Amino acid sequence: MRKLTMVAFSVLLTVLLAGNVMAYTYYPPTYEEADADSGLTYTYQDDESDDASGGWKYEIHRMGYSYDDENLYFSMVTGMPQDGRLDRGAMINSGDLYINVGGSLSDGYTGTGTDATYASGDVYGLALTSHSGDMNNDMAGSHSAYTSGYKDDGYTWAPVTEGNLYSDAIFSTGVYEGYRDDDTVGDDPFGDANNSPVHIAQYGGDMGSQGGVSWNQINSTTYEVTATIALDALGLQGGGAFEFWWTMECGNDSAWIAGNVNAPSGSETPEPGTMALLGFGLLGLACYTRKFRKN
């Protein structure tokens, strides 16, 4: 009986451990690194090495952020140049920066097709290049897997300007978005194979220039991308959580980082209980003052 009990316990333990392994999701740890030029300290997260389809040309190495009292700063190292890469006669463009304030892209979408919106947070797009018109149609017929031709994805594709921030942004999800393919990944309501946010395809409002985008070549294979966004434009002047996501048009690699802007020192809103105590204190002081005057 004791032996049978031990066997049963061993089986249960194995199942529990297996369940934990299956449920475990790995996220690379963040680390801090000071930038001597700006005096800022960035929080970085490394992307997995050699995971990009197509090799170093499409690799994202790391992504990070920093902030001060006025701005949120974005930094990324990638093998993709700002003007994209020519592949088999078609231009693979670099994407725009997806910013979610107070939510997460991983929460998915509500609605379907062009009526779909992001399920959580306020979504902004920072244009890392200037572009207009359907950015997906230049890939039509260039890939043997998509022989049925290009289809209109239904977005407005209004012009965007490099360095400008756009509110209520909806992102195209890459070159595969424009093809009649039955392969649907995840809960992307627009279908097809790449459901990472790539280009700003439509938006609610143009919030203007945010302070510039730079795409500096570090060496022959890598570029450092930096950008600035005003905290008040994102509603983060009082602090709050946000996410950055970026991928190039082909979706060969994608990276994201979640961060939090701490509330400025001295700007914290007092708790309701504190306000109540303050009110009672002032009321008591007023009563004491009236009593003192009567005496």
The tens digit of pLDDT for each residue in 9-58 reads: 343 333 333 333 323 334 567 899 999 888 999 999 987 765 555 667 77
Residue 24: both structure tokens together: 């475990």
Q: Which pLDDT band holds residue 88 (cuts at 50, 70, 90)?
A: low
Domain ranges of the chain: 32-264
Helices (H), ranges, the chain: 2-23, 231-234, 272-294
Cβ atoms of 176 and 198 closer than 8 Å: no
Distance CA 122, CA 118 (A): 8
Parallel/antiparallel/unpaired status of strands 254-261 and 164-167 = unpaired
In this prediction, what percent of the chain has a pLDDT beyond 70? 61
Q: Residues 6 or more apart from 179 whose CB is under 8 A from it?
A: 139, 140, 143, 145, 146, 148, 149, 150, 151, 192
Residue 152 has pLDDT above 80, yes or no: no
Distance CA 83, CA 31 (A): 30
Residue 70: CB atoms within 10 A of its CB come to: 11
Can you give the pLDDT at residue 276? 45
Distance CA 166, CA 7 (A): 61
Q: Does residue 149 come out as left (phi exceeding 0), alpha (psi in the -120 to 50 range) or beta?
A: left
Cβ atoms of 80 and 57 closer than 8 Å: yes
Distance CA 123, CA 142 (A): 31
Q: Is the pTM of this model over 0.85?
A: no
The tens digit of pLDDT for each residue in 178-188 reads: 433 333 334 44
